[in-house]
Each structure stands twice: as C-alpha cells, then as structure tokens.
C-alpha cells in the first residue's frame, strides 16, 4: 500500500542550512517520519522552476523573486503570482490525500479552494497572522467595500477548509468566535537542539565589541510592522551608558531610516542578514532579546518565530506590545512588557536584572524550561501529525485539534 500523499504549501519554505523561519521544514519532516509522502510547494529567487529531493521531501521551487524591502503593491503582485503558479503546480500532483495551506498572506487560500473544487482534495488552512485584520489595522486597505470583500474571502477560506489551525491561542480563539467551529492550535517551534543557553565566548564578545556589557539584541525582519524606532529611542536615552550594547540583526525596508536615526549612537550596531549559525553565535552573547511591533491589537495575536528562538536560547525576553505572548513570558518569569512610548520604563524594569545577576540567570532558566516543555519540535511535530490521523482525532485543546 502506497503512503498517503500530503501537499504542503508555504511560500517561504526554508531548510536549516538556509536559515530563516524553518517551522515548515520541521513539520513536513515529521510527516515523512510518520510514513506520509510529502510534496512541498514553495518559491525561490531563481529564474527557473526546480524540483529537489530534501531528506524525504519532494520540494517544488517556483521562480518568484521576493525581498522583504518590497513595497505594498509589489508584495501584492508577488503574493498573487505565487498563488497562480502554486495552483498550477498543485493540480498536477496526483493521488493527493490532503493539502496543507500555510498563510500568510490570506490569498493562499485560493490554492486550497482550487484543490478542493477541481480535484476533490480536502485542505487544512494554517493561520499565522490575522489577515485582513492586521493590514487593515496598520492602515492599509482603507476602502470599506474592499475590507468587506477581504473579510468575506477570509470567512470563505475558513469555512471551506476541513480543518483550521492557528499559530497562537489568540488566533485560535479569534477564529473560533467568528466561524463557530473548533480550531486547532499548533504554535511556532523552539529548536531546542540548535539553540541552547551558552556561556559568553570572549572571542565573540570582542568581535561585536560587547565584552563586559549587557547586550540587547533585536533580530528578524526590519519593516514597518516591527516599529524598531522604539528600540533606538531606548538606545538614545541610554547613549551615555558604557555598560550596554545594542545589536540589530536583519534587513528590510526600514533599515536605511533606522541607520540614519542611529547616527551618533556608538553603542548601536547593525549586523545585517545572518544565517542560522551566525544568529546562534550572536544569541550566545546576548542577555536580552527585544521583540518589537507596531502597537495595533491584531499584532498582539501573532506568533513571532524570534520569540521561540530566544526562549530556546534561554534569553530574557522584552516585548513592547501587549498580547498573549507578553502575558506568557511575564507569567513564566522569563520577560516583561516595556511600553514603546516610554523608553525609561525599559530601563526601570531591566534594572533589577542588572543589579542582581541571579535574577537574569533565573529568567534564562525559565525561558529554556518553557521552550522545552511547551514548544519543542518533537512535541509539536507529533501534534502536527495527529491532525492527519482523522480516524482518531485528539480531544485536547492545547496544541492539537478538536476534530471538526
């Protein structure tokens, strides 16, 4: 008997060697380990289509250039082009058991509809951010008729999906309230094997001029949504302090603006794009992981990959918006909220950790424990596989599906 075939669609699929967000890699690999056949549909910045065999996965790379610095209209074009190409690719794959569609953006739902309507293949729809709510709250799509249309599409994608999966409990609850159906919750993954708490290496400290300093690091994309001006406001308030170092890791459309704003702040360094191994080194000398977002309600529901990497590395986490993740790190004793409009609050809340190093050590242990017990890839991989065992659905709410 041939193994059941699952088509996994995610526009930004990456392997550990490539770096970036590799949740889709680990989840699709967990299906292979469970005996499923998996074909991944994704994109790459090359000019030609490519199909590669990667550790049991068949990966279809669609040619589609994308960069984080792209503006709104160019991004929309890329998203639409991916949908059209992915539909064509998916419809050519034979003997498909289920199709797993991972957003964002919302438009990938059309791929699921095409598989269901034209081939009779049920699809699961994963929601990483609440679209279109998030871009609407950020000031995009101001036309009310367009907003109504987009919300209608969102509802259609959810209703037609056999199962809906949220990446955070806040997303899960939000969707359940609106579609009156049970929704799964499978969070982002903390790679506890790759990222681990480590003692500071003097050579790495010297490389980034951080010897003897408390290091505050932001890592990830640098676009409008992350509102990193808040971190530079904090750095400017403490520009005369010699005991602090600020590292900003990543690239994006807002990078030129931030570099201009940081002129004269000698304790701020921009490290650009790094691979996963380099990020691990940077986190090894980091004391505080700073998570930053625009202060809009929808972003308080998101599930940022960087949070889980910071937890795995055992870092004190500071976040500048309220939400489920903020509540979690505060209740677990591994971080705190700092109002992005009040830079002094960051220093006031950080002060006990600087004055009493045992507090920082305890926060590190708490972060690592949280990563290991709730967000390990082994645990979440098993929960993910359980989604496809439709004959024996789980009845637990946290991290697994209540069968719909």
Q: Kindly report, residue by residue over 41-54, the tens digit of the pLDDT.
A: 999 999 999 999 99
Q: What pLDDT sits at residue 403?
A: 34
| pLDDT over 80 (residue 318) | yes
Q: What is the pLDDT of residue 66?
A: 80
Confidence of residue 383 (pLDDT cuts 50, 70, 90): very high
Run of H or E including 165: strand 163-166
Can you spell out the DSSP letters for 316-377? EEEESS-SHHHHHHHHTTSEEE--TT-HHHHHHHHHHHHH-HHHHHHHHHHHHHHHHHHSBH
- Residue found under tokens 């809009």: 296
Helical H segments across 95-201, by residue range:
109-119, 133-137, 144-160, 169-179
Per-residue pLDDT, 152: 95
In the prediction, which pLDDT does 400 show? 40
Taking the CA atoms of residue 335, residue 374, residue 8 and residue 278 in that order, the dihedral angle to the nearest 10 degrees is 50
Contact 137, 296 (CB under 8 A): yes
| Residues in CB range of 75: below 8 A, 6 or more apart | 66
**Paired residues of 218 in beta bridges:** 248
pLDDT at 91 over 60: yes
pLDDT of residue 105: 81
pLDDT band (50, 70, 90) for residue 69: low
pLDDT band per the 50, 70, 90 thresholds, residue 162: very high
Q: Yes or no: say if 79 and 70 are a contact pair by the CB < 8 Å rule.
A: no
Strand order in the sheet with 123-127: 50-54, 57-63, 37-44, 5-9, 96-102, 123-127, 163-166, 184-185
pLDDT tens sequence across 246-301: 999 999 889 999 999 999 999 999 999 888 899 999 999 999 999 999 999 999 99
The answer on pLDDT for 397 being more than 60 is no
Give me the mean pLDDT over the 205-214 stretch. Answer: 96
Average confidence score pLDDT of the chain: 92
How far apart are alpha carbons 310 and 280 in whole angstroms? 10
């Amino acid at each position: 008997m041939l193994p059941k075939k699952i088509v996994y669609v995610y526009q930004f699929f990456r392997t550990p060697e490539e770096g970036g967000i590799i949740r889709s890699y680990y989840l699709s690999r967990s299906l292979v380990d469970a005996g499923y056949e998996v074909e991944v549909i994704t994109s790459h910045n090359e000019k030609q289509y490519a199909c590669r065999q990667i550790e049991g996965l068949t990966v279809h790379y669609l040619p589609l250039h994308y960069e984080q610095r792209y503006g709104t209209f160019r991004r929309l074009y890329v998203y639409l082009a991916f949908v059209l190409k992915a539909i064509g690719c998916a419809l050519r794959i034979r003997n498909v058991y289920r199709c797993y569609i991972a957003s964002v953006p919302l438009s990938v739902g059309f791929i699921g509809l095409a598989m269901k309507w034209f081939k009779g293949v049920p699809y699961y729809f994963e929601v990483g951010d609440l679209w279109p709510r998030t871009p609407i709250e950020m000031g995009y799509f101001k036309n009310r008729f367009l907003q109504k249309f987009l919300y209608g599409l969102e509802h259609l994608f959810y209703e037609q999906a056999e199962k809906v999966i949220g990446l955070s409990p806040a997303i899960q609850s939000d969707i359940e309230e609106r579609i009156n159906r049970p929704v799964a919750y499978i969070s982002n993954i903390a790679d506890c094997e790759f990222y681990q708490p480590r003692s500071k290496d003097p050579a790495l400290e010297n490389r980034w001029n951080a010897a003897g300093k408390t290091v505050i690091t932001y890592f990830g994309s640098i676009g409008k949504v992350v509102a990193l001006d808040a971190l530079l406001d904090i750095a400017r308030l403490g520009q005369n302090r010699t005991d602090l170092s600020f590292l900003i890791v990543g690239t994006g459309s807002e990078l030129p603006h931030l570099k201009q704003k940081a002129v004269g702040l000698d304790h701020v360094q921009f490290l650009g794009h790094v691979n996963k191994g380099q990020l691990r080194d940077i986190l090894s000398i980091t004391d505080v992981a700073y998570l930053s977002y625009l202060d809009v309600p929808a972003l308080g529901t998101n599930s940022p990959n960087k949070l889980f990497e910071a937890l795995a590395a055992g870092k004190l986490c500071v976040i500048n918006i309220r939400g489920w993740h903020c509540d979690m790190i505060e209740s677990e004793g591994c971080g705190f909220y700092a109002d992005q409009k009040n830079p002094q609050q960051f220093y006031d809340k950080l002060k006990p950790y600087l004055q009493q190093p045992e507090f920082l050590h305890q926060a590190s242990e708490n972060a690592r424990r949280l990563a290991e017990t709730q967000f390990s890839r082994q645990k979440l991989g098993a929960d993910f596989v359980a989604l496809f065992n439709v004959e024996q659905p789980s009845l637990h709410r946290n991290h697994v599906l209540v069968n719909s």
